[in-house]
Amino acid sequence: MSSGVHIAFYRFVRIDDVDAVCARLRALADGLLGTILVAGEGVNGMLAASAEQIATFQQRAAADEVLSSAFAAMTYKQTASERIPFSRMMVKAKREIVPLGVDGLDMPARVDDVAATDVPPQQWRELIRRDDVVVLDNRNSFEFEVGRFRGAVDPGVVNFRDFRDFVERHAPEWKAEGKQVAMYCTGGIRCEKSSPWMQDLGLKVHQLQGGILNYFKEIPDADADFDGECFVFDNRVTLDTNLRDVGRQRSDIDG
């Protein structure tokens, strides 16, 4: 596969039989490359193949008896892929599809709360320029260094679970100052997982709908707000604000 299509997708939805969903995904994803994580709280994945193969997977997953409850309403972020971004196909059962480390957070039951915090890309630019808004990068520090929205705060974390500690330390200060939080991540999933928990802390939270990659897709002059490139967790390594594969090697990022 010298070129093709890359899709990223996730959905917080109750999965009663994780093993059965994993087994069906392994069967339907045969011949594709990428990773799909499945947990009781939902599905999170990235796949690459020809456009025809990807379309076939999407259609079959949406119609499959075991998978349709998760995939019939799945939203996919699709980009062109000029080089093979994955080396294998892997479907894994996990405790969480994205780890936050907060016990009792029922994400499938909080979907409506999450949706209420979404800010479309077209409104994001105005929001992050407000004086009463803290722009919070909900990613690892090395991702922040590769590229970030201008004026954003780096939580300085290595592991996503550490994001919880940063927010808990600063929430009283933000509330006392009347600050709202506008946070973003690569594709939206980390913000969606954090948003209802942050609401429970009493914070007014906004999240960039679809994450950085959706902003790049929807806003032609995204470089007016975003410095650098967006790190992606596959062999493309980074994408510029026009969603082009920059051609980096992972060693360029690791130092």
Name the residues annotated as catalytic: 185
Q: How many residues in the chain? A: 255
CA-based diameter of the chain, in Å? 54
Retrieve residue 222's tokens: 């995204």
Token pair 């915090």 is found at 117
Which H or E run contains 77?
Answer: strand 76-81
Structure tokens at 30: 């045969």
Nearest one of 157, 158, 154, 141 to 183, comparing CA atoms: 154
Pairwise CA distance, residues 245 & 255, whole Å: 19
Residue 181: closest CA among 173, 72, 239, 2: 173
Cα(150)–Cα(128) distance, rounded to whole angstroms? 9
For 248, how many CA atoms within 13 A lie in the half-sphere containing its CB? 21
Element at 113 (helix H, strand E)? helix 111-115
DSSP letter, residue 41: T
Give helix then strand counts, H and E, for the chain: 10, 13
